[in-house]
Structure 1
Amino acid sequence: MSGPAGEQRIDHDLVWVVEDSAEDAEAIARALRRTHPGLALDFTDRGTGFVERLLGAARRPGLVLLDLKLPGPSGPDVLRSIRSRPELDGVAVVAFTSSTGPDEVDTTYAAGADSYIYKPVNFELFRAVLKGAVDYWQRKAKSGDEGPGAQPPS
């Protein structure tokens, strides 16, 4: 599905998850299926070839949940690759990771992350954090707010 002039459509009910831990991927799937049953999820366990998949997709996800510790290119490397492609500007990228070091947070935002979220160990909190992130990015997309100064809808 393409938009005007052959542009690929951003689907805000589609989330792509880049997560190499099968356990964390399963937890993400369980959490989002409970809180957002209509959300389509797509999973990959590595960053290699991810940008090419995004570029070639008929429907681009409105949101990418990106782990930072990946085999092959790291999360920040994948993020820099995404942000180097203007045709992917409409895709929100949220680092969802167990990494909490201030340098890692700074590096991730410098690479172009829209948000940085720490993975809680408790499943209920894990689910609540994911729900909040998805709700926020879906509201933002529907309101049409763009740019770093945009306020979340009330």
Structure 2
Amino acid sequence: MFSIDEVSGEAMTILLVEDNDAHAELVIRGLRDQKMRSRICHVQDGEEALDYLFRRNQYEDPEKSPRPGLILLDLRLPKIDGLEVLKTIKTNEQMRAIPVVILTTSEADSDVKHAYMQYANSYLVKPVDFSNFNTLLSDLGFYWLGWNHRPN
């Protein structure tokens, strides 16, 4: 699945790698509420994420698959695991500077450790409470879309 949403403000492409449609919808809505312009591209598995990033298959056209300024990555993904996607991103010279935020339900110390060993830029555990989830997304959007400075 691939979807794009637009919100107002300075444009940044965000690649959301999330296999749970309900979680993806919450993330998209939460970021949309930030009132900062972004283009959210949603893919549902690790293989599709790498296809998007390396412009393979349906993502060959750079106009339809712009380089993301931020990747929100779930760990438990079909086809290719999130940690393997992270490793591939961070070992690629052209992609390693893209911030990757792990957004997952896993609180396992081993997952946190492995994510940071593969150079994750942040590790966030999805709260089960809807209000807390919205707060997390608000803070996430405000930081990465507002406060954080990134190279052009």
TM-score > 0.5, shorter chain as reference? yes
Provide the residue aligned with 1:14 in structure 2: 13
Quote the Cα distance in structure 1 between the aligned partners of 2:14 and 2:48: 17
SS of aligned partner of 2:149: helix
Match of 2:34 in 1: 35
Note the aligned Cα RMSD (angstroms).
1.9
Match of 2:149 among 138, 141, 144: 141
TM-score normalised over the length of structure 1: 0.78
TM-score (norm 2): 0.79
Q: Deviations over 1:110-149 (max 9, x none)?
A: 112100001011222112212222322232225x6xxxxx
| 1:40–1:95 CA distance, 2 compared to 1 (3 A) | same
The answer on whether the counterparts of 1:15 and 1:65 sit within 8 Å (CA) in structure 2 is yes
Q: SS of 2:31's equivalent?
A: helix
Query: What's the counterpart of residue 8 of structure 1?
Result: none
2:98 to 85, 91, 94: 91
Whether the aligned pair in 1 keeps the contact of 2:34 and 2:141 (CA below 8 Å) is: no
Shift of 1:34: 1.5
Partner of 1:74: 81
In the alignment, is residue 112 of structure 1 matched against residue 111 of structure 2?
no
Amino acid of the structure 2 residue aligned with 1:140: N
Aligned-residue offset at 1:37: 5.2
Cα separation, 2, equivalents of 1:37 and 1:62: 14
Structure 2: gaps of 5 or more residues? 1-9, 56-61
Could you tell me the percent identity over the aligned residues?
31
Structure 1: stretches of 5+ with no match in the other structure: 1-10, 145-154
Aligned to 1:50: 49
Residue deviations 1:2-23, cap 9 Å, x none?
xxxxxxxxx9621110000011
1:41 Cα shift?
0.6
Question: What is the total number of aligned residue pairs between the two structures?
Answer: 133
Counterpart of 2:130 (choices 108, 116, 123) is: 123
